[in-house]
Amino acid sequence: MDIDALLDTFCDSLWLEDGLARSTLEGYRSDLLKFADWLEAQQHKALLDTTHGDIQAYLSFLVQQQVRASSSGRNLSSLKRLFRYLLRENQIAVDPTLQIAMPKLPRNLPKTLTEHDVERLLNAPDVQSSLGLRDRTMLEVLYATGLRVSELVNLSTRQVSIAQGVVQVMGKGNKERLVPLGEEALDWLKRYAEQGRGVLLAGRISDALFVTARGEAMTRQMFWYLIKKHARHGGITQTLSPHTLRHAFATHLLNHGADLRVVQLLLGHTDIATTQIYTHVARERLKKLHQTHHPRG
């Protein structure tokens, strides 16, 4: 089997097992093709002949190329996944990635906003216009639920129950979760449904909850542009990321005493270790409060 056919079969299995997004599968393929090219050029071997020493030599090569630890870790993760698959399919006898540890990565704290900054961002859209009403509603829902931006823009009208006050989200790996909306977000959703969405659709039919002036579904890139625009109008100078409101959602919940497991469920994290990073953010805020207000701070 040539390398392209092998990787096609591998990526198909990943998609069937985990429902991974196309971009994730393309990332696996890219990492593995780079390794296969290096292996052939430097070690004169085919992928199925990879040894433990080859993996170590490749990781050393990445270090020499000054590849970031996060990228090296991603490459090793791709290799581990591939060789576990090949072992399971009886295409190799030994997994060459065994006993090779993932590189330790520095844990960068997610950038978030203060509650005051969130208020300024939410108040930035002009809600007298249909577009502004849509933007305010999207920001309110994003902050109220902690959805990923991709999850927000892909919402259909069927996924939101105003009567029950919940949104049904299809997250990574096609994992479904129910997230409460809260009274404020619900009020804006009702207002958008009554005064904004129909005006934007102008008689056109769409299943998308949030639509553009052309009556089409909102895209992730377009909404990211809108977030930055409203942040400027709200006087927020901090650099934002598409997940800023998601980070704020989690951090503010923990600041107000929410249980970590509950936050994990709401965010749709499979591993609670992913959620625990927000406890560090909350802890940093407590340190600053202590330094500001304590007489010996």
Please give the pLDDT value at position 109.
60
Compute the distance between CA of residue 241 and CA of residue 279 in angstroms, rounded to an integer. 19
Residue 133, token pair as written in the block: 């009403």
Q: Answer yes or no: do 119 and 68 share one domain.
A: no
Residue tagged active-site, from 134, 197, 246, 247: 246
Parent domain of 284: 115-293
Q: Is 133 a member of any domain?
A: yes
Query: Residue 156 to residues 141, 182, 288: CA-CA distances in angstroms?
Result: 13, 19, 41
Provide the CA 62 distance to its chain's centre, in angstroms. 26
Q: Count CB-CB contacts under 10 A for residue 283.
A: 12
Residue 61, token pair as written in the block: 């090569």
Q: Answer yes or no: do 9 and 120 share one domain.
A: no
Compute the distance between CA of residue 200 and CA of residue 137 in angstroms, rounded to an integer. 14
Please give the pLDDT value at position 280.
66
Q: Is 178 a member of any domain?
A: yes
Q: Reply yes or no on whether 243 is catalytic.
A: yes
Q: Answer yes or no: do 45 and 175 share one domain.
A: no
Q: Reply yes or no on whether 246 is catalytic.
A: yes
Q: Answer yes or no: do 197 and 283 share one domain.
A: yes
Q: Reply yes or no on whether 278 is catalytic.
A: yes
Q: Answer yes or no: do 180 and 80 share one domain.
A: no
Q: Cβ distance 34 to 67 under 8 Å? A: no
Q: Is 140 a member of any domain?
A: yes
Q: Is 236 a member of any domain?
A: yes
Domains identified in the chain, total number: 2
Dihedral sign for Cα atoms in the order 283, 287, 290, 293: negative
Please give the radius of gyration of the chain, using alpha carbons only, rounded to the nearest integer. 23
Please give the pLDDT value at position 51.
95
Residue tagged active-site, from 45, 111, 172, 233: 172
Q: Answer yes or no: do 166 and 289 share one domain.
A: yes
Compute the distance between CA of residue 78 and CA of residue 72 in angstroms, rounded to an integer. 10
pTM, two decimal places = 0.60
Q: Which amino acid does the sequence have at 188?
A: W
SS (H, E, C) 166-186: EEEEECHHHCEEEEECCHHHH
Compute the distance between CA of residue 297 and CA of residue 292 in angstroms, rounded to an integer. 6
Question: DSSP alpha helices (H): ranges in the chain?
Answer: 3-18, 22-38, 52-64, 69-88, 115-122, 130-145, 149-153, 183-195, 197-201, 220-233, 244-255, 260-267, 272-275, 277-293
Long-range contacts of 87-92 (CB under 8 A, 24+ apart): 91/48, 92/48
Q: Answer yes or no: do 156 and 251 share one domain.
A: yes
Q: Reply yes or no on whether 136 is catalytic.
A: no
Q: With both helix axes pointing from N to C terminus, report the angle between 130-145 and 244-255 in degrees, rounded to the nearest 10.
A: 50
- Which pLDDT band, with edges at 50, 70 and 90, does 8 fall under? very high
Residues 53, 59, 60, CA angle at the centre, nearest 5°?
90
- Which pLDDT band, with edges at 50, 70 and 90, does 93 fall under? very high
Q: Is 106 a member of any domain?
A: no
Q: Answer yes or no: do 150 and 267 share one domain.
A: yes
Q: Cβ distance 20 to 6 under 8 Å? A: no
Please give the pLDDT value at position 1.
59
Q: Answer yes or no: do 78 and 131 share one domain.
A: no
Domain with 202 in it: what CATH number? Answer: 1.10.443.10
Q: Is 276 a member of any domain?
A: yes
Q: Answer yes or no: do 84 and 122 share one domain.
A: no
Range 216-231 average pLDDT:
91
Q: Answer yes or no: do 24 and 60 share one domain.
A: yes
Range 186-207 average pLDDT:
94
Q: Is 19 a member of any domain?
A: yes
Q: Is 105 a member of any domain?
A: no
Question: How does pLDDT run across 108-163, given as a tens digit for each residue?
Answer: 666 778 888 999 999 999 999 999 999 999 999 998 888 888 899 999 999 999 98
Residue tagged active-site, from 148, 197, 247, 252: 148
Element (DSSP H or E) covering residue 160: strand 160-161
Residue tagged active-site, from 84, 233, 269, 285: 269
Q: Answer yes or no: do 63 and 179 share one domain.
A: no
Range 198-218 average pLDDT:
93
Domain with 51 in it: what CATH number? Answer: 1.10.150.130
Compute the distance between CA of residue 123 and CA of residue 2 in angstroms, rounded to an integer. 56
End-to-end CA distance of the chain: 66
